[in-house]
Amino acid sequence: MAANLASTVGNQRPKRSAIAEFKRAFTGLRRGETIAGYLFLAPNFIGFIIFLLFPICFAFFIMLTDWSLAKPPAFVGLENFETMANDRLFWKSLGNSFYYTFVAVPTGIFIAFWLALALNRKMRGIIFFRTIYFLPQITLTVAAATIWRWIYQPEIGMINHMLDWFGIDGPKWIHDTKWAMPSVIIMSNWQGIGFAMLILLAGLQGIPEEYYEAASIDGASGWQRMRYVTLPMLTPALFFVVVTSLIGAFQSFDQFFVLTQGGPAHATTPLTLYIFQNAFTFFKMGYGAALASVVFVIILIITVVQWRLARRWVIGFDNDDE
């Protein structure tokens, strides 16, 4: 995306001094356009400054303070980060965030891939199935988690009841430290798979039919067409899904808050929930902001690493630059 942007943004004219250009823009024929440009941008830009640019800068200050909101902030330098290094719960929640992200995303994409393949066949009723798979995605997570909390009930829940048909004694799901995280992951994938499925489906539909015809003429088997046509052609869509899903998963909050409240015994407290608890239950604004900066850095790293790796496996990735 960034590569595309560079080319869309950068139709630069020969360099003139900024001030001279600014003056020119306000005189003569272009005056009207300049004023209109700023006016059209103004409502958006004011919101941008007050509710995005300023809070981001403000966050850098907050993370260097001890601030309970009851008293004025006390500047403590990097103390919050020292606290963090020795905070067992921070490491635990960081681990939980990674556990959740790196299990939920690959399993979700794996299932979404097969669903997209199935939906890409020329058959009747595909849109019907597509709609059904997508419904959970737009359902509010609070309601979805509420339903699932009940489905997971050890005694009266649906899952254990169905397992009972096969003579399996189901686990205690969200009440068991071992099973709580898998429970959240199953629910999240139920809810989120529609997103990955849609993008992969669009990717599949974008593969020209001729490629398959050519492969068939060359005598490629079904498996070979999959391996040498479908998969390579799908890599851009896969890349897109992987990056956005990883970023989204790392920021998940609602399902944890409603389904498990982070328990039992912090087994499902991700970093986002730990930040929330510190800031809005214990009113440690400084520590909360310091923790939030970790989320930011990790998301940044995930994104950069993915972009770097993309050159190795995404077809046509470098061509975007032209």
Q: Which of residues 259-298 bind another protein (CB under 8 A)?
A: 272, 275-276, 279-280, 285, 288-289, 292-293, 295-296
Q: In this chain, which of 202, 214, 231, 305 binds another protein, going by CB under 8 A?
A: 202
Q: Which stretch binds another protein (CB under 8 A): 83-91, 101-109, 141-149, 313-321?
A: 141-149
142 binds another protein (CB under 8 A): yes
Angle between helices 126-138 and 88-119 (to 10 degrees): 160
32 binds another protein (CB under 8 A): yes
36 binds another protein (CB under 8 A): yes
CA 274 – CA 290 distance, rounded (Å): 12
CB 205, min distance to another protein, A? 10
Residue numbers 84-103 binding another protein by CB under 8 A:
none
Nearer to another protein, 99 or 251 (CB): 251
Residue numbers 179-198 binding another protein by CB under 8 A:
190, 192, 195, 198
Q: In this chain, which of 84, 104, 116, 151 binds another protein, going by CB under 8 A?
A: 151
String of contacts with another protein for each residue 100-139, x by CB under 8 A: ---------------x--xx-x-x-x---x-xxxxxxxxx
Nearer to another protein, 46 or 231 (CB): 46
Q: How far is CA 318 from CA 2, 147, 164, 237, 314, in A?
A: 12, 45, 53, 15, 9
Nearer to another protein, 38 or 75 (CB): 38
Nearer to another protein, 78 or 142 (CB): 142
217 binds another protein (CB under 8 A): no
CB 35, min distance to another protein, A? 8
Residue numbers 226-245 binding another protein by CB under 8 A:
240-241, 244
41 binds another protein (CB under 8 A): yes
CB 4, min distance to another protein, A? 9
Q: Which stretch binds another protein (CB under 8 A): 28-36, 76-84, 176-184, 312-320?
A: 28-36
> CA geometry: angle at 205 spanning 203 and 208, to 5°?
105
Q: In this chain, which of 10, 14, 28, 72 binds another protein, going by CB under 8 A?
A: 10
CB 265, min distance to another protein, A? 20
